[in-house]
Structure 1
Amino acid sequence: MASLLENDHNFSVSIPSYEDKNSITYYIINVNVGSIVWSVSRRYKDFVELHEILVMDHCIAKEMLPQKKLIGNRDPEFIEKRKVNLEKYLLTITNYLEKTMPNVLLKFLDFDKYDITYILQNMAFKFYKEGDNYFTKSSEYTFNPLQLYAIRERLHKCCFPTEVSNQCDFSNILEFCSKLKIVTVRGGRSHIGNSNLIYNSLPFDMVVFKSVSEMYLYNIHLPNISDFGSLRQTLHSMIICNSNIKQFLDALLCDKVHKTIENMEDKWNKLIKIDFSWNDLKRIDDGISLASKLQSLILDGNQISCIENTDLLPDLTYLCIAANNIIVEECLHSKLKNIVYLNLSQNKITKLSPFSKLIKMKELNLGSNWISESSEIKYISHLQELEYLVLTGNPVSTIIDYRIKVFEYFKDRAKSLCLDNERASQKELDTAAILRALTVVKEGKAPFNIPGI
């Protein structure tokens, strides 16, 4: 990340090229600050506006800027000459204003997007002006790694220049972050704007967040995070998606060099929800025991093939492992004895017998699996708490009168069952009742108390 304050002798600007957009010429300015490089696209009009302010406020000579040309300003030879002269202009004013570097010039060169000092000033000013609005509405804010890296660097610097005003004081950032309840960090593997900086190459820490209860991390390189454990005393919900998690310790101990589950101090005793969707998990490993108070676990879009170690989560009632490679086993009830909501859609499940003892389950989503026989319904039809069932996308859902067959198995409970997000119609209930009565007759039992029989 750029820091002009630390690289004032290693700073340069140049205009190596230009481009034409909709018959308007834009000059490409390259800015180098230490090892950081970025480009800025500006038209001649932007230079004129900058120059007028510099002339008025900073005693720049009016004739320093190349003059405007009304005729022939689209001629390539003229544009090339103007490019050279604009570069000389920038070099002259940056040398002249080296010690002061007014904000209008820094903004013209996009320092507010890439330089630590000016990113912090903008954040501090924003939180000073708008901070109360965030806490009135939701106490929520979204950062990127560049902003958090700037905060980290500011904390680690013993000597930092005094802020220009109370409105831009770093304490505004610290106060704002310390009060936040919900924090989102969105990273990425791409370059930041037109610079050579990459979001996920920047380290940052969590020490400034004192009250956060929900943490959302999207597309983050977890080893870059330090002081993640400082959230253990406040965090209730941890959502980390698209971040290449391969084991639970990658997240739960991301700031530890040695990732072991032996230290009791590493437990997340207040954490009740984890969402590690769209990562690289191949199993539910025993690292999950560090969050033994979990009530909700979401692991969509990984590569998990079986349900294991969930017996380490006695309070787990909500489990979602959609779009994986799950094949369930018969002992499922010993691993999910308190489960209420279970979503295993888009997996490789072929039978329903493993679900027959999940007596507390109210919602079961098995959409888009490999269940093909309607007779499998008998294994779950006796579950008294089951109210929502999704089987659409399975081969069984293509059978003629599929819904009727399901309601037939549920008998008197059919009217309280929502199948594939739709309640049974009266016609479906009546048809299922008739079929059930015919089945009873075929089995040699009288379905009704008919006089004389």
Structure 2
Amino acid sequence: MASLIDETGRRRIINIRVAGFEISEDHTTYLIEVQIDSVKWQVKRRFKEFHYLHETLCRDRATEMKSVAKFPPKKSIGHLTVKFVQDRQKRLSAYLQSLVTVFDRPPQPFTNFLHWERYEIQGITGSLTEYLFEKGDLWLERGYPFEFSILQLYAINQRMRLPAPTCGEVLCSNPKAQYFFNKRNYEFDFDIAAELGSSFKSDFGHLLDFISQLESVKLTGSDRRYGRSNLVPDSLHYDLSPFKRLLRLQLVQVNPDRLVGAEHLRARLLTLSVRASVHSIRQLLLPEWPPHRQLGPDAPVYSACTSADFSDNGLSEIDAGVKLMPRLKRLRLKGNSIARLDNLDELEHLAELDLSKNSITKLDSVHLLVGNLKELELANNRLTGLEGLSRLYGLVTLGLRANLISDLSEVAHLANLPLLARLILADNPLTQLADYRVRALQLFDSRASELVLDDEPATAKELDTIAVLQAIRRSRELSLSSSSAAVVASSCSPPAVLPPAALQPPFRCQGVLLACPQHPLPPLSQGCHAKVDISIEKQVLI
């Protein structure tokens, strides 16, 4: 139950008034403004809702209601005139303020009327506690991430600081409740719980117990005002220390400068996901160190973390903060503005790296930074060359979709990667070349049948065409080797002109010059040389 008494035992400062009204065709809506300490919010209610609240309180709390200001009567005729509504507005303001004066612990109908559970600390924690009393065990059994808003976590942190019992006065003074809480190794008694009613369900201790057992949490913030209040979640401090068993953490649109208690997670956190929150990895992982302090052996690390996702943040570089997770196996940096690879050389266990949707234009000696990679995603960058990937010998999957690769010869740099099984080149300029797939697969020679190119394995027709082309190439190489040896052997005679008969299909005369190295080639007009080219490849592709 909400309290109007603060942590020092003083009455909390609360102002409540009807600040305005809106008259429509058949009714009037009143705008209520509530302020508790520094928190303000607004609620809209019709007069009939005021009247229902009054009747409920008179029925349930008749004694206290004798001291409340007189409630304005109903009126059927003339109730929409401005003068009447203004008078009713003043009387309703006095009525609400008197309710606050009478009750130290406002009854639930009153707090519901004011949307207490949305904006006030004990109201927020109370509604969350009642929900978890019913559903908490199911969440823990399934292991799904439980989502808190930053406002909810802030309210929990503030409620923990109050020197007040976790339960309401009614519950704490009930002898059955005392027996229930003091009994050891008890089995849950649903009859007692039912008798204790909503006070038992709203016991803050249930929420604390649930939080201490959670292993997977998602925190969501916002830089906009919450509801109809002056609360901006990203301006609130939030403490992660109550999560005693947390293994997996997701942060979405939070303010890392307001984070407290990260040091309690470093020894056990396994996975970390951060979206739309940071401009620096170090900013989040090591907030207690000043930015200018160099990371050394004394820097505290996240020793258990094996997976991190910093996608869709404002990262312009891979800063040194990534070194604070030395056991990373998976790292996602998708959707940032990263232009080059840095600070990855100490991540010896890194096997999966996602750098898609960044601003990378060139890769140099990537194997020196991430030599143990098995999966590398570079889609939607600005790459034109692939030579920097030629020594990633453990690579199994490589994604290069939607880059600027236009030269098929760049793919040849990948042909010597012995484990490469999946290659994505779709949406690059080279895919518009004639017979792109056959020509790309041909570069992998005997491994063409093992490669999945653009999510499609090589077809039987493609493999047959590649086999023919490979046979032609070997024949050409053998023929050229034999012809060159024969020409070199006739070292004392001028270069021989190849007879036309020797140049009949499958070979055509155009391309390669054959001549004795001891005799310079005469001008073309003297007819002392021959041009040789294998143009049958074009016929096979057609």
Q: Paired residue for 1:414? A: 448
Q: Of 49, 53, 68, which residue of structure 1 is paired with 2:56? A: 53
Q: C-alpha distance in 1, partners of 2:3/2:366?
A: 56
Q: C-alpha distance in 2, partners of 1:133/1:237?
A: 22
Q: C-alpha distance in 1, partners of 2:393/2:157?
A: 50
Greater shift in the superposed pair: 258-267 or 115-124? 258-267
The answer to whether the 8 A contact 1:227-1:255 is kept is no
CA positional deviation for 1:15: 1.8
The answer to whether the 8 A contact 1:307-1:328 is kept is no
Q: Of 35, 40, 65, which residue of structure 2 is paired with 1:32? A: 35
2:88 is aligned with 1:86? no
> Per the alignment, do residues 416 and 5 of structure 1 end up closer, same or farther by CA in structure 2, a change over 3 Å counting?
farther
Q: C-alpha distance in 2, partners of 1:211/1:260?
A: 31
Q: Of 271, 285, 298, which residue of structure 2 is paired with 1:237? A: 271
Q: C-alpha distance in 2, partners of 1:352/1:286?
A: 26
Secondary structure at 2:444's aligned position in 1? helix
Q: Of 403, 415, 425, which residue of structure 2 is paired with 1:391? A: 425
CA positional deviation for 1:354: 1.1
> Per the alignment, do residues 77 and 398 of structure 1 end up closer, same or farther by CA in structure 2, a change over 3 Å counting?
farther
Secondary structure at 1:196's aligned position in 2? coil
- The Cα offsets for residues 288-321 of structure 1, whole Å up to 9 and x where unpaired, read as 2221111111111222111122111011000011
Secondary structure at 1:311's aligned position in 2? coil
2:340 is aligned with 1:306? yes
- The Cα offsets for residues 203-261 of structure 1, whole Å up to 9 and x where unpaired, read as 11111111111111111111211120100121011111111232x22121124457542
Q: C-alpha distance in 2, partners of 1:281/1:341?
A: 21
- The Cα offsets for residues 295-354 of structure 1, whole Å up to 9 and x where unpaired, read as 111111222111122111011000011111113333111112110010111112111111
> Per the alignment, do residues 86 and 293 of structure 1 end up closer, same or farther by CA in structure 2, a change over 3 Å counting?
same
Q: Paired residue for 2:282? A: 249
Could you tell me which amino acid in structure 1 is paired with residue 100 of structure 2? T
> Per the alignment, do residues 376 and 22 of structure 1 end up closer, same or farther by CA in structure 2, a change over 3 Å counting?
farther
Q: C-alpha distance in 2, partners of 1:77/1:19?
A: 13
CA positional deviation for 1:266: 0.6
> Per the alignment, do residues 295 and 441 of structure 1 end up closer, same or farther by CA in structure 2, a change over 3 Å counting?
same
Could you tell me which amino acid in structure 2 is paired with residue 5 of structure 1? I
2:228 is aligned with 1:225? no
2:389 is aligned with 1:355? yes
Q: C-alpha distance in 2, partners of 1:255/1:128?
A: 36
CA positional deviation for 1:117: 1.7
Q: C-alpha distance in 1, partners of 2:21/2:353?
A: 55
> Per the alignment, do residues 77 and 266 of structure 1 end up closer, same or farther by CA in structure 2, a change over 3 Å counting?
same
CA positional deviation for 1:101: 1.6
CA positional deviation for 1:174: 2.1
RMSD over equivalenced CA pairs, Å: 2.6
TM-score (norm. length: structure 2): 0.75
CA positional deviation for 1:81: 4.5
Greater shift in the superposed pair: 329-338 or 175-184? 329-338
CA positional deviation for 1:100: 3.6
Q: Paired residue for 2:158? A: 153
Q: C-alpha distance in 1, partners of 2:83/2:71?
A: 18
Q: Paired residue for 2:5? A: 5
Q: Paired residue for 1:112? A: 117
- The Cα offsets for residues 378-419 of structure 1, whole Å up to 9 and x where unpaired, read as 111232211111112211122232222222222332232222
Could you tell me which amino acid in structure 1 is paired with residue 20 of structure 2? S
> Per the alignment, do residues 149 and 431 of structure 1 end up closer, same or farther by CA in structure 2, a change over 3 Å counting?
same
For 1:323-402, list aligned pairs within 5 A: 323-402=357-436
Greater shift in the superposed pair: 23-32 or 71-80? 71-80
Could you tell me which amino acid in structure 1 is paired with residue 117 of structure 2? D
> Per the alignment, do residues 115 and 29 of structure 1 end up closer, same or farther by CA in structure 2, a change over 3 Å counting?
same
CA positional deviation for 1:262: 2.6
Q: Of 144, 160, 176, which residue of structure 1 is paired with 2:210? A: 176
2:174 is aligned with 1:141? no
The answer to whether the 8 A contact 2:399-2:423 is kept is yes
> Per the alignment, do residues 436 and 75 of structure 1 end up closer, same or farther by CA in structure 2, a change over 3 Å counting?
farther
> Per the alignment, do residues 212 and 9 of structure 1 end up closer, same or farther by CA in structure 2, a change over 3 Å counting?
closer
Greater shift in the superposed pair: 221-230 or 416-425? 416-425
Secondary structure at 1:347's aligned position in 2? coil
Q: C-alpha distance in 2, partners of 1:332/1:73?
A: 78
For 1:280-295, list aligned pairs within 5 A: 280-295=314-329
Larger radius of gyration: 2
2:350 is aligned with 1:316? yes
Paired residues, number: 442
2:128 is aligned with 1:123? yes
Greater shift in the superposed pair: 187-196 or 137-146? 137-146
Secondary structure at 1:38's aligned position in 2? strand
Secondary structure at 1:348's aligned position in 2? coil
The answer to whether the 8 A contact 1:223-1:255 is kept is no
Q: C-alpha distance in 1, partners of 2:94/2:161?
A: 37
Q: C-alpha distance in 2, partners of 1:204/1:353?
A: 47
2:19 is aligned with 1:16? yes
> Per the alignment, do residues 367 and 175 of structure 1 end up closer, same or farther by CA in structure 2, a change over 3 Å counting?
same
Q: C-alpha distance in 2, partners of 1:23/1:337?
A: 74
Could you tell me which amino acid in structure 2 is paired with residue 89 of structure 1? Y
The answer to whether the 8 A contact 1:139-1:179 is kept is no
CA positional deviation for 1:169: 2.8
Secondary structure at 2:345's aligned position in 1? helix
CA positional deviation for 1:356: 1.2
2:459 is aligned with 1:425? yes
Q: Paired residue for 2:513? A: none
Q: C-alpha distance in 1, partners of 2:24/2:323?
A: 57
The answer to whether the 8 A contact 2:397-2:421 is kept is yes
